[in-house]
Structure 1
Amino acid sequence: MEAFVSFGLCTLLIALISWYKTKSTNLRTVKGLLLAGKNNGYLIVASSLILTNLSANQFIGENESVYTNNMSVMAWGITSVLAMLLVSEYFLPIYFKGGMITTPDFLAHRYDEGTKRLVSIIFLLSYIVNLLPPVLYGGAVALTGMFRLPDLWGISYWQSIWIMVWLLGLVGSTYTILGGLRAITISDTLLGLGLLLLAIVLPVCALRYLGKGDIFAGLTLLFSKHTNHLNAIGTAHDAIPFSTIFTGMLLVNLYYWGIEQYIVQQTFAAKNLKEAQKGMALAALSKLLMPLLINLPGLIAVHLYTNMKNTASVFPLIAAETLPDALLGITIALIFGAAITTYNAGLHGSSTLFVMNLYLPYLNKRNKKPKEDELVRTARRFELFLSFVAMVTAPFILFVDSGFYTYLQRVAGLFSMPIFTIIIIGFVNRKVPAIAAKIGLLFFMLSYFACEYIFAVQIHYLHVLAILFSLTAFIMVIIGCYYPSKSIQITSANTTQHLVVPWKGRYIAAGALLILMLLIYIAFSPLGLAS
């Protein structure tokens, strides 16, 4: 009962503060609803980036991978620091100078409107298939495990997943539609502070539980037994082989932090480029601290539980057994909020893409000039539609055979890397025409689908992504040599100069972050804790 009370109070408090801070934002305009009025400072940008990135999927999936493999899965978070720094230095200036609202806007400038529409549709498909349903499912697994709902309500695990999926979906939809992006970013800041505290409290409680009341005994046990699980240098048999960090993983991380609409939209809402870059650097620092929260419970579970059948329940089980009831309720509220935040950002990114890149151009072609409130109304209706589809399909992820997190990343490659490839080629080569971009998209998607789901190529999927990236880029460049583009218009928007001035301290921050990244890898290697 105490856990339920603290969960309710914490969730209500965050909602009330978010409402109070957003009541002055005009949500009847596209800028107010979709871009938070472009008035966010670096603290809110950083919190939004981390909380949008951090969903129950990671709590569930990464701890499961640590339990079944080792710490190699932390590469997704730790090595993303390099990608975030590259995005901050090279991608964000292009976006801000172009005054862009969605990442496919660049494609319209660089290629043509047809490429922009095609990529927008692929974005939407990826959100419908591989973002919104998995976020709801991951949140449902976490809440079901921590509240122990099957035992509490006397229902099956399958039934409790359905109930939690619909609860998360309904709450998330309401939050997004009524509050807009500004409400999401404010709640992100509050949740970010809460998760920072949780990253300290949960390991302490779990280690005390492991050491039977003695934290140092728990630490000693953690670092002296099953040390193979402390190794972040994955082998070919692990979920994340070390070699993939330098091939497909780097490319996926660059796409995620620099092109993924629901992530990049958080930086578009910054006051200026300087605030966006500072926010990205602070978010990168937070990524280096994440193993304490989303990997350590999996390590502790190795010592507490043997031969778990439902390995996806590792994190909920650790939290439920080691935290006091009041803290468990707050933890559930934070996990609930993290799931809602990612779900909200996905809905918001989807409606932005649909309204600005598909619906509005359709109306313009018919010589219709829609009013602001019509566009806002259409965005909200589209979010409701997507939410319904996600709530219906999410529970069936329970029947996926492979690990939850690996499943997410494999499917994501089908949508993300083709888009990444044509955007990167657009950045570096001005001869490649629009037809080459369309051919590249189709070639990459069909080839990857064939490699992963038809022929079952015996190469890690991250290496497959890197190989197909190189092949697609080569094909596009060759087409550009024989049929070069004759009209490229990459224009700059009428942006006030001070809005695109970069942050002067970015190089010092980048150096410090890269050194910390290397030290963490040395610590979780045979040279360090895994010796």
Structure 2
Amino acid sequence: MHALTLASFLFFTGLVAFLTWRITRRDDHASTSGLFLAGRSLTFPLIAGSLLMTNLSTEQMVGLNGAAFADGLSVMAWEVVAVIALVLLALFFLPRFLRSGIATVPQLLEIRFDKGTQRIANVIFLLAYGVILLPIILYSGAMGLQGMLDLHGLTGIQSDTVLLWLTVWLVGLIGAVYALFGGLRTVAVSDTLNGIGLLVGGFVIVYFGLQAVSDGNGVLAGWEILKDSQPERLNSMGREDQQVPFATLFTGVLLINVFYWTTNQQIIQRTFAAKNLAEGQKGVLLTGLFKLLGPLYLVLPGIIAYQLYADQGVEADEAYGHLVFNVLPPYLTGFFAAVMVGAILSSFNSALNSTTTLFSLGFYKGVLNKDASEAQVVRASKIFGWIMALIAMTIAPLLAGQESLFGYLQKMNAIYFIPLLAVVLVGLLTKRVPAMAAKIALVGGCLLIFAGYFIPPFDRLPQVMHEFHFVASVFALLVVAMLVIGKLRPRAEAWVHEDSGAIDLTPWKGAVPAGIVLVILVIAIYAAFAG
């Protein structure tokens, strides 16, 4: 372990923490608006930086590069198709969310349907974040750091299990402090600072990786070697035997992306905190532009790692950390590890902030203590946040041994992504579908997908058709069922989507042209690498 690596790691980590404290030290952390919505003050650079970094944690950096190590360029779908979802968020979903003046997605379902629907959605989100999302963020982060910093050598701990538990708990405790004492603006500022480092570091990895492929003869030479030796891995069209077959881009992959970027509380909470609609749209579309660059630092390094280490017995989810440790000079290894810690903390504290928001506004204020003061709600959110953090830190090390971390994440996410997206979409597009239909879709949809994954004989369905086609079929079934119920037992009165008056809803004039350009670029990228 180089002293220079450790010094650069500590320096950059401390610098981000200090700058975040300086920028946000006078912010309102005592009210629910300040803690959960940054006082509705976020401008487009902070929204874009926070969206990008909340997404770019180590389940992306480690998991998606691991998937690329196994399957090649076709897994870029999770980055490139996301741009379509972001355009939908900017042009369709965000104006409607901000019109409602909501802090959480379940609050929208209460406005559109009823309190019962809101509570069911709250339970689904809380279970999913506590059992699936938070543990995966911590586990992937620990695995990435072990590879980059050679933590075995640094700590002298030889047991993989002991080191995994210690790393998970250390990262989890730091992330909890950020989220529970700082609030959403603190999260957004630290995200933006780390985002700059992550983008720079991600491209630096590619530079040194291609240099290693060409034995120091230059980046272009390394790229030519990759193209000549691995043409099948640089094909954007996924085969049927790969994780993301091309046909699934139009079914499950698209739907999971649309939920993730338009209805996932952890992601879109910072868009609820936009200063106005125009700032929110600019931030979302700027994120889309950055996502188009995603394959360069989230997929290409995995392909480079395959070129360098495929014959060395390196596992897919170990590939990225192995590449970073071997190709970067010591001072840059420490810098990039610090950025990765920032990425881990970003996703973890964003998810934790969203979890406490859901609990505090949905259950504590809505059910347990309806007359609670601002101070009581904030205090309850912090207590619940620590409970969820401890649960996540306990579950995370138990995930060791998954064949594909990223594949496992998408599979588990689909259980709740699909029903929630169906209900939100039908709710926004119809006026007469009743609350009963939403409740049936939420509960029934989660049970259907869970059964299809884990309960015989239903688990044969995702084997007969690809699992992404399976979840798309469930989505279609839920939408049809809700519409049929709406015809048979419609609401007594048509729902009217009233303007809460929370912020200025004047749209950005460039939103539609920018959205069209982004969609054209998505098509062009796929066409350029079609094999």
Q: Which residue of 1 aligns with 2:439?
A: 438
CA contact (8 A) 2:278 2:507 kept: yes
In structure 1, distance between residues paired with 2:442 and 2:454: 18
The answer to whether residue 408 in structure 2 is matched with residue 407 in structure 1 is yes
Q: Number of aligned pairs?
A: 521
Q: Which residue of 1 aligns with 2:113?
A: 111
Give the drift of 1:492. Answer: 2.3
Q: Which residue of 2 aligns with 1:261?
A: 265
Give the drift of 1:77. Answer: 0.8
Cα displacement string for residues 287-346 of structure 1 (whole angstroms, at most 9, x for unaligned residues): 001111111111111211124352211000000000011111110011110010000010
CA contact (8 A) 1:109 1:490 kept: no
Q: Which residue of 1 aligns with 2:57?
A: 55
Correspondent of 2:466 among 460, 474, 485: 460
In structure 1, distance between residues paired with 2:396 and 2:287: 29
CA contact (8 A) 2:72 2:299 kept: no
In structure 2, distance between residues paired with 1:444 and 1:372: 35
Cα displacement string for residues 318-375 of structure 1 (whole angstroms, at most 9, x for unaligned residues): 00000011111110011110010000010000000001011111145xxx52111111
The answer to whether residue 305 in structure 2 is matched with residue 304 in structure 1 is no
In structure 1, distance between residues paired with 2:436 and 2:423: 11
In structure 2, distance between residues paired with 1:420 and 1:136: 26
Q: Which residue of 2 aligns with 1:344?
A: 349
CA contact (8 A) 1:421 1:469 kept: yes
The answer to whether residue 505 in structure 2 is matched with residue 500 in structure 1 is yes
Give the drift of 1:489. Answer: 4.2
CA contact (8 A) 1:109 1:488 kept: no
Q: Which residue of 2 aligns with 1:204?
A: 207
Correspondent of 1:159 among 144, 157, 162: 162
The answer to whether residue 183 in structure 2 is matched with residue 177 in structure 1 is no
In structure 2, distance between residues paired with 1:407 and 1:312: 12
SS in 1 for 2:274: coil
Q: Which residue of 2 aligns with 1:385?
A: 387
| Unpaired stretches in structure 1, ≥5 consecutive residues | 527-531
Give, as a single letter, the amino acid of the residue that structure 2 aligns with 1:362.
V
SS in 1 for 2:77: helix
| Unpaired stretches in structure 2, ≥5 consecutive residues | none
Cα displacement string for residues 477-511 of structure 1 (whole angstroms, at most 9, x for unaligned residues): 11111111114544424416x71001100122112
Q: Which residue of 1 aligns with 2:333?
A: 328
CA contact (8 A) 1:110 1:488 kept: no
In structure 1, distance between residues paired with 2:87 and 2:515: 7
The answer to whether residue 76 in structure 2 is matched with residue 74 in structure 1 is yes
The answer to whether residue 101 in structure 2 is matched with residue 96 in structure 1 is no
In structure 2, distance between residues paired with 1:227 and 1:79: 22
Correspondent of 2:475 among 445, 450, 469: 469
The answer to whether residue 253 in structure 2 is matched with residue 249 in structure 1 is yes
In structure 2, distance between residues paired with 1:521 and 1:494: 41
In structure 1, distance between residues paired with 2:153 and 2:7: 19
Which segment drifts farther, 277-286 or 303-312?
303-312
Which segment drifts farther, 415-424 or 338-347?
415-424
Q: Which residue of 2 aligns with 1:529?
A: none
CA contact (8 A) 1:363 1:369 kept: no
Cα displacement string for residues 146-186 of structure 1 (whole angstroms, at most 9, x for unaligned residues): 11222442412222211110111010011112211111111
The answer to whether residue 33 in structure 2 is matched with residue 28 in structure 1 is no
In structure 1, distance between residues paired with 2:54 and 2:352: 12
Which segment drifts farther, 200-209 or 7-16?
200-209
Correspondent of 2:363 among 358, 366, 375: 358
In structure 2, distance between residues paired with 1:201 and 1:436: 51
* Pairs within 5 Å for 1:253-292: 253-292=257-296
Cα displacement string for residues 116-151 of structure 1 (whole angstroms, at most 9, x for unaligned residues): 010111011110121100000010000001112224
CA contact (8 A) 1:133 1:391 kept: yes
CA contact (8 A) 1:99 1:492 kept: no
In structure 2, distance between residues paired with 1:199 and 1:517: 21
CA contact (8 A) 2:252 2:471 kept: yes
Give the drift of 1:106. Answer: 1.4
In structure 2, distance between residues paired with 1:106 and 1:32: 20
CA contact (8 A) 1:431 1:484 kept: yes
Give the drift of 1:271. Answer: 0.3
Give the drift of 1:191. Answer: 1.2
In structure 1, distance between residues paired with 2:468 and 2:210: 34
Q: Which residue of 1 aligns with 2:429?
A: 428
Q: Which residue of 1 aligns with 2:236?
A: 232
Give, as a single letter, the amino acid of the residue that structure 1 aligns with 2:344.
A
In structure 1, distance between residues paired with 2:44 and 2:320: 31
Give the drift of 1:523. Answer: 2.5
Cα distance change of structure 1 residues 494 and 441 upon mapping to structure 2, 3 Å threshold: closer
Q: Which residue of 1 aligns with 2:129?
A: 127
Correspondent of 1:19 among 18, 21, 29: 21
What is the root-mean-square deviation of aligned Cα atoms in Å? Answer: 1.4
CA contact (8 A) 1:83 1:253 kept: yes
Cα displacement string for residues 186-209 of structure 1 (whole angstroms, at most 9, x for unaligned residues): 111111111221232111111112
CA contact (8 A) 2:36 2:103 kept: no
CA contact (8 A) 1:111 1:488 kept: no
In structure 1, distance between residues paired with 2:70 and 2:203: 24
CA contact (8 A) 2:157 2:163 kept: no
Give, as a single letter, the amino acid of the residue that structure 1 aligns with 2:501.
T
In structure 2, distance between residues paired with 1:473 and 1:172: 38
Which segment drifts farther, 127-136 or 471-480?
471-480
Cα displacement string for residues 24-70 of structure 1 (whole angstroms, at most 9, x for unaligned residues): 11101111111111111100000010001111001111111111112
SS in 1 for 2:239: coil
Give, as a single letter, the amino acid of the residue that structure 1 aligns with 2:474.
L
Give, as a single letter, the amino acid of the residue that structure 2 aligns with 1:135.
I
In structure 1, distance between residues paired with 2:239 and 2:476: 24
In structure 2, distance between residues paired with 1:519 and 1:164: 41
CA contact (8 A) 2:73 2:300 kept: no
In structure 2, distance between residues paired with 1:203 and 1:7: 20
